[in-house]
Amino acid sequence: MRADTLILITLGTFSLCLIYILSSFLYSFVRYRIDPTMKEKTRRSVLHRTGRVAEGMILDLDDISIYYHYTVNGVPYSTAQNFSAIEICLPENRNLVIGEVSVKYAANNPANSIVVCEQWSGFKASSTKRALAARA
C-alpha cells in the first residue's frame, strides 16, 4: 500500500471520529429535555388508558405519598405514589381511603402502577362516599 493512500485513510478515519464526537456532544446540549412533572403526568395518563386493574391495599399515607400493596400473578408488589401534583383528586379526610383500593398497572411492567390520576381513582366507593359525607 502506498504511503499517501495510508495517510488519506488515516485522515478520513480521524475526521469521521471527530465528527461523531462533536455531533454527540452537540446533541447532548441541544436535545429536548422533558419536564419531570410532565413526564409523570404522561405516565399516569398512559397507565389510565392502557393499564390493567388489580385489587390492592393502601397501607399508609403521608403528606405527599400513598403507600400501597398489590399482587399480580402471585407476585406481591409494595410501592408508593406521589400525589402532590394531583392532591385535588384525594378526599379531604385522607385517612378514609386507607384500606382496599383498585390499582392500575402496566401489563409489561407490573411494578409500574397508580392508584389515582387526573381521570381515574381506584378508591373504593365506600371511602369516596364517606369522604363526600365528611365534606358536607
Cβ–Cβ under 8 Å, residues 135 and 92:
yes
Residues 64 and 108 in one domain: yes
What pLDDT does residue 127 have?
Answer: 47
> In terms of residue numbers, what domain contains 121?
36-135
Residues 121 and 72 in one domain: yes
Residues 7 and 71 in one domain: no
Residues 87 and 130 in one domain: yes
Across the beta sheet with 109-114, what order do the strands follow? 75-82, 65-72, 52-61, 99-106, 109-114
Residues 94 and 42 in one domain: yes
What pLDDT does residue 89 have?
Answer: 85
**Distance between CA atoms of 107 and 51, rounded to whole angstroms?**
7
Residues 80 and 121 in one domain: yes
Residues 46 and 8 in one domain: no
Residues 119 and 98 in one domain: yes
Residues 16 and 43 in one domain: no
What are the residue ranges in the chain where pLDDT is below 50? 127-136
Question: Residue 44 belongs to a domain with what CATH number?
Answer: 2.40.50
Q: What is the pLDDT of residues 30-67, one digit of tens each?
A: 666 778 888 899 999 999 999 999 999 999 988 889 99
Q: Which residues pair with 68 in a beta bridge?
A: 58, 79
What pLDDT does residue 128 have?
Answer: 46
Total structural domains within the chain:
2
Place of cell 403507600: 67
Residues 1 and 48 in one domain: no
**Distance between CA atoms of 114 and 22, rounded to whole angstroms?**
41
What pLDDT does residue 100 have?
Answer: 93
Residues 65 and 92 in one domain: yes
Residues 50 and 4 in one domain: no
